[in-house]
Structure 1
């Protein structure tokens, strides 16, 4: 039986602590996989844009990506699968958060095609921390007014 697909997690698996990997060795392996018809998949909780940035030195278009904890699967510009949160689902989580966790200060981050979204009350320091995981961060007045497909909602305490 021939291998058709190889998938790897990123943080703590392929990536070193400094968020790099052996680009030359990886490119050699990609060439071998291409010759044998093997698809290389990068799977992560990271956003697609972040994943592609990690692979910039080896041409990110050579890989398939499973991003946002599995909510978005892409190859090149083609979306192979996606699981989008509805406005009703987002509203339900926001309501739960305000009713049950109101006494705790937390950060809400929504992740979508166009980037990550945080409240316009987030400080510059908080936004710098969010940019460590999300390359494109937008501040918004109301989460339910975001004009983007949302894949994930994170609550950070």
Structure 2
């Protein structure tokens, strides 16, 4: 019998594990997850989605998977939060104010530990999208006056993804608490505390599991998966993925609409 060459699996969600209709084959995944666990292989969901959304997505599997949410801001094991990275309250508010002043057409979703927040005046399209991704979202009159009891883990911005580097550079010039901007390529930017990314979250889990990076297989489609793909010994960019990520990954998986992640894992598990 050929030995499976990896001990941990990491998958992005949008454009990777799920199809364009936000679905994945639960029965097929159940079979794969069962086989992975029989071989003592860990399955890690590594997504820009908030924890509240991922808990809904994997409701039937939460006791058998690990989660990296908000692009690395929150880590869970056995459905319990084991690590979190947040902005200080002052920096979170300053960041929102900076974006509103310098990029006034940008719509903002602020993800906190307690819940997420969007402006009541946001467009219907943005509201509908954020209500899907943030099941616990509430609409507020002013994002500058968020509850002091809640710390922000991430901002999601609806704007040109090409602004990510510019925004990060401009804010960090005058901030004692630097930020990191990344994009999944869907006309949005995710803003997190500096040095927070999926790769750092995976390093935490790999150390805990005593698994080497070369024993990790990872799947992604956008540049917010860059650090994760660079880390993994077996790195796959989706057929539908960003060409920049394809240039970094060692292999290509079939399209997300063809359940490419499940196809590749099934081949290894035969």
Instruction: Tell me the residue number matched to 1:145.
Output: 146
In the TM superposition, what whole-angstrom CA distance separates every residue of 1:74-95 from its partner, at most 9, and x where no partner exists? 0124222211111121122123
Q: In structure 2, how many angstroms separate the alpha carbons of the residues matched to 1:12 and 1:73?
A: 21
Structure 1 residue 120 displacement after superposition: 3.7
Question: Does the 8 A contact of 2:99 with 2:106 survive in 1?
Answer: no
Conserved? CA contact 1:118–1:137, under 8 Å: yes
Which residue matches 1:74?
A: 76
Greater percentage in strand: 1
Q: Tell me, yes or no, if the aligned pair for 1:127 and 1:137 is still in contact at 8 Å.
A: no
The answer to whether the 8 A contact 2:66-2:79 is kept is no
Bigger proportion of residues as helix = 2
CA gap 1:10/1:124 in 2 versus in 1, 3 angstroms: closer
Conserved 8 A contact 2:44-2:66:
yes
Cα distance between partner residues in 2 of 1:126 and 1:20: 20
Q: Distance between the aligned counterparts of 1:97 and 1:12, measured in 2?
A: 27
Distance 2:94 2:76 in 1: 28
Partner of 1:107: 107
The alignment's TM-score, normalised by the length of structure 1, stands at 0.83
In the TM superposition, 1:59-138 aligns within 5 A as 59-101=61-103, 104-122=104-122, 126-138=126-138
* Pairwise CA distance, 1:96: 1.7
Q: Which has the higher contact order (CA 8 A, sep 6+)?
A: 2
**Would you say the 8 A contact 2:89–2:151 is kept in 1?**
no
Q: 1:89 to 1:31 in 2, by over 3 A?
A: same
Helix, strand or coil for the counterpart of 2:71?
helix
Residues 125, 16 of structure 1: alpha-carbon distance in 2 compared, 3 angstrom cutoff: closer
For these two proteins, the number of residue pairs brought into alignment is 154
Displacement of 1:8 in angstroms is 0.7
Quote the Cα distance in structure 2 between the aligned partners of 1:82 and 1:89.
Answer: 16
Quote the offset at 1:149 in angstroms: 2.8
Change (3 A) 1:127 1:42: same
Larger mean CA deviation between 123-132 and 23-32 belongs to: 123-132
Q: Which residue in 1 is equivalent to 2:8?
A: 5
Whole-Å Cα distance in 1 between the matches of residues 11 and 101 of structure 2? 39
Q: What are the ranges of 5 or more consecutive residues in structure 1 without an aligned counterpart?
A: none
* Secondary structure in structure 2 of the residue aligned to 1:155: strand
| Cα distance in structure 1, aligned partners of 2:155 and 2:68 | 17
Matched position secondary structure for 2:30? helix
| TM-score in terms of structure 2 length | 0.51
**CA separation of 1:11 and 1:155: change in aligned 2, threshold 3 A:** closer
